[in-house]
Structure 1
């Protein structure tokens, strides 16, 4: 899929730089040409010789290198690739990118390029969660820079949490999706997926049986058609697809905030099974059994994310697709939901226990639009996703 593609790989200075060596190997296995740029800090973790040996070409290191400038000036170097990849993208590199600094070769290339950019952040969990890094991330995403990772896990510093660089194959998948030549290339699509968990106390929550399988399949199918996918997922049973920007949330209100932060997009597909209510009396202490009887839970209504996006006065996606999981009068209830919410399409399905659809591998849906109701045969969720993605592509690009 990457045969004939040219990737400019900028290797930042973090322990995750060792993964860049495997990334180079994986890219070249798939036919890509890799031009490596190694920062001074990156040289503390991997050597120019090892990078050059795997890339099969010279390593660019210095902004003011007379030989490099004579052979290929840094402006030209920044523009000859199909994609610029920064892996690892350290907090320092992200800050330079967000603020437009250009005091070394890497930052100068990133400021001078007119080529799409993909970053794979990697840093300590506290650095990742710091308000400054999150502001820089929002700025970069607003500038159109794609992001893969970071993942959650153990770190070299001994801490645990988000900040681990995505694995090389995850980055390869993101590169393939970014360079895909499908009909949705250049389009940015938001997909929500999975359930939400609404806490009762620190150990209990209200949820539903959604596995997230259908939303994950939709995101994967859209990425395969070339879309840049922002995938906002609750705590689903299935892992998120590779090659998309993943935002993990727990509650409906967190999903609402993540959706607002992801806009604007060309299309939004709202496949998440968002809880209708949350516990207004949720406590930070575990509820105990009491001789006074059962505890009383007071509920409050959750935000209606689909309706909010569908009825936006400004920045509404060109196409808004909702999902309706029903147990009776499926088409009638879903048709009414489409009109009530103001979305363009509703994908309706029967999730009665007898169907085995909720949490299962197959789905049977009816697509409801202005033109009416179109019932599709029962098929694998991946097949439903591909068919829906193709319809979305037709609606967006003809």
Structure 2
């Protein structure tokens, strides 16, 4: 998602993580957002305001003047679309929770809360401070005011600022209009590995990139995302699966918990499982491996989930699409072998409304897929 036309006010407080702010501003500007920095006096002791002025292209606000900058950006007719406080110290968390506005950043926060504009806090501090029961209580208080907190990374005794990609994704989510709000999206992604012996596996060249981009796009659009795969995404719910059987079990468990609104089968699920050979098949001599067909996991969702999306790989994809539609699949992505493991792809989106060519980066293709789901199937 592009943040074109959006103004993000970024509040910087007195954590050493303030040194990451220049990179964060650049990341937001790459998404075409306008970024206006605001710094507390404590933050100015860690990083110079000129650094943020240079990164953003706007004069950094370090004090409230007769121009009433907090009203200009966060008042009822304010210019800002989102207030992002990154990093946010324990001191700032507690002041906002108690309605204290004795710093530039907290004055902006008080005004933003009164307007009920979107606010994101990105805490960064020592872990002992972050797990303080009063800080925890204050974060809960802020949550009741619909303030989003992006959890820090707990490493080396510190609650370190969240990664830049995660912060940007949350900004996109809050500014997307959230057309998928309240929708549950289940995605299977990446390759499966079927054991041949104790050393070898049968697998595919799938990298899981398409599945990850689909998960991120669903998150941007406000959806409640669960992804079943062998990897990790930084937002949503990760469910680990390495084989067709473990993926099947995960799908069944999740479907029993709650049927999703959208199911996307982007995984290169194994069509066959070899007869497992204990230990290691000797090398240097011919070996015969017997392959047993595996059930189609898509059948677990079709007819139960309102919107189902399948990926069909191979030259015969178009001929097999009708069979998938007769099963009840809502949309098919005709895939090509060269798409596997690539950053880019060429797909044909096929549904009952017709055909659409989707070429470009997998991020762009994920956006096109959800645009069509929202426009045609929800």
The equivalent of 1:36 in structure 2 is 37
Equivalent position of 1:98 in the other structure: 97
2:121 aligns to what? Answer: 119
1:134 to 136, 147, 153: 136
Partners of 2:172 and 2:29 lie apart in 1 by 13
SS of residue matched to 1:365: helix
Aligned partners of 1:121 and 1:149 also within 8 Å: yes
Residue 227 of structure 1 pairs with residue 215 of structure 2: no
Q: Is 2:298 the partner of 1:365?
A: yes
Deviation at residue 123 of structure 1 after TM alignment: 0.8
Cα 1:5/1:351, change in 2 over 3 Å: closer
Q: Which runs of 5+ in 1 are unaligned?
A: 154-159, 195-212, 247-269, 275-322, 357-362
Distance in 1 (alpha carbons) for counterparts of 2:139 and 2:8: 22
TM superposition shift of 1:19: 0.8
Displacement after TM superposition at 1:38 (Å): 0.5
What is the aligned residue count? 280
Q: Deviations over 1:97-119 (max 9, x none)?
A: 23332233311221221321122
2:239 to 268, 272, 276: 272
Equivalences for 1:196-275 in 2 at 5 Å?
219-224=215-220, 226-227=221-222, 237-241=230-234, 244=235, 272=239
C-alpha deviation, 1:370, in angstroms: 5.1
For residues 69-116 of structure 1, the C-alpha deviation after alignment (integer angstroms, 9 at most, x for no partner) is 2xx4x2232131111111101111122223332233311221221321
* DSSP 3-state at the match of 2:154: strand
Distance in 2 of aligned mates of 1:341 and 1:173: 27
Counterparts of residues 271-310 of structure 1 (less than 5 Å): 272=239
Kindly tell me: are residues 93 and 215 of structure 1, through their superposed partners in 2, closer, same or farther at Cα, counting changes over 3 Å? farther
Distance 1:189 1:13, change over 3 A: farther
Describe the shift of the 1:350–1:3 C-alpha distance in structure 2 as closer, same or farther (beyond 3 A): closer
Shift of 1:45: 0.4
Please give the alpha-carbon distance, in whole angstroms, between the structure 2 residues aligned to 1:373 and 1:31: 32
Unaligned runs of 5+ in 2: 190-207, 275-295, 314-339, 342-361
1 CA distance for matches of 2:132 and 2:32? 38
CA, structure 1 residues 20+377, in 2 after alignment: closer, same or farther (shift >3 Å)? closer
Relative to the length of structure 1, the TM-score reads 0.55
Q: Which residue of 1 aligns with 2:54?
A: 53
1:17 matched to 2:18? The reply is yes
Task: Sort the Cα spacing of 1:136 and 1:393 in 2 relative to 1 into closer, same or farther, 3 A.
Answer: farther
Which residue does 2:277 correspond to in 1? none
Residue 107 of structure 1 is matched in structure 2 by 106
> 1:206: which partner in 2?
none
Deviation at 1:55, TM superposition (A): 2.2
Output the CA distance in 2 between the equivalents of 1:182 and 1:48. 33
For the pair shown, the structure with the greater C-alpha radius of gyration is 2
